[in-house]
Amino acid sequence: MGNEYRNLQIDRGSEIWRILISRPGDRNSIDSPLMVELEAALNEAEQGSVRAVVFSGKGKEYFIGGADGIEMMQCSPEQAEAFSERIQTLFNRMEASPLILVAAVNGLCFGGGFEFALACDLRLAAHSARIGLPEVKVGIIPGGGGTQRLPRLVGPGLATEMIFSGRLYGGQEAARLGLVNRAAEDKDLLAEAERMLEPILRNPQHALRRAKAAIKGGQDLTSGLAEERAQFGPCFGHKFFVELMKKQLKSGLLVTTAQLPAGFLD
């Protein structure tokens, strides 16, 4: 792939990269090609002197608007479980990176978007951000590690309430609840991310890398993620999600740049 990315805009600083997730016609959602690009960008960053990566979303409306519903609505239960495994693999790869990954949540951040943020080491949210896991509202469940990482972050009580209700939380409330490390004024979000990193990057890289490995190593996700995949796939044996997506596409509530098979919406 080299240094060319279709869905990412990268500002390559000497120690900090800013990566802008850029699928504006599709809510910056995570589809299979974007997953490939994100892995490639991590591989590239790890080859040089980079120590941290700050992710944000293109535009003011979305950080990441979930995993790509258009791709998922065409999945059988078996394909949905495979999609879950693929996105889990990306997020596991992020956690395993020696770099410090920061999610600068600058807009709507739900479903797979929040699961992406959960796989980062640090999270900041703009005051206007809205964050949560609303999958049950569309008849599925989190499939990118949300059922496992969220309880580890905020405890099972709050995580259960969040997942069962599908509620979205504003940036300041998200900070108060511990969903993000801190909130910032929208215009100051990226500057605040770098202010957060400044004292961290004064420390030696080998110590930061080993500290991250120790923190992540104490949170065994393997069996939990497998169970999540096993419960995610069968949701696609029900018509609720697909019929809801079709209805939203026909009404114009949901737009996409994807080309659906002929007759798919009939």
Give the active site residues: 115, 135
Q: How far apart are CA 154 and CA 159, in angstroms?
A: 6
Give exposure, 129-165, as e/b (b: 16+ Cβ within 10 Å): bbbbbbbeebbbbbbbbbbbbbbeeeeeeebeebbee
Q: 């950080």: which residue's tokens?
A: 63
Q: How far apart are CA 219 and CA 91, in angstroms?
A: 14
Identity at 231, one-letter amino acid code? Q
Q: Which of 250, 248, 262, 261 is nearest to 71 (CA)?
A: 261
Q: How far apart are CA 136 and CA 125, in angstroms?
A: 23
Q: How far apart are CA 255 and CA 163, in angstroms?
A: 25
Cα dist. 87→118, 143, 193, 216 in Å? 13, 8, 25, 18
Q: Which of 245, 265, 234 is nearest to 66 (CA)?
A: 245
Q: Strands (DSSP E) along the chain, which ranges?
A: 8-12, 16-21, 52-57, 62-65, 100-105, 108-110, 122-126, 130-132, 168-170, 182-184
- Residues 126, 189 contacting (CB under 8 angstroms): yes
DSSP 8-state symbol, 97: -
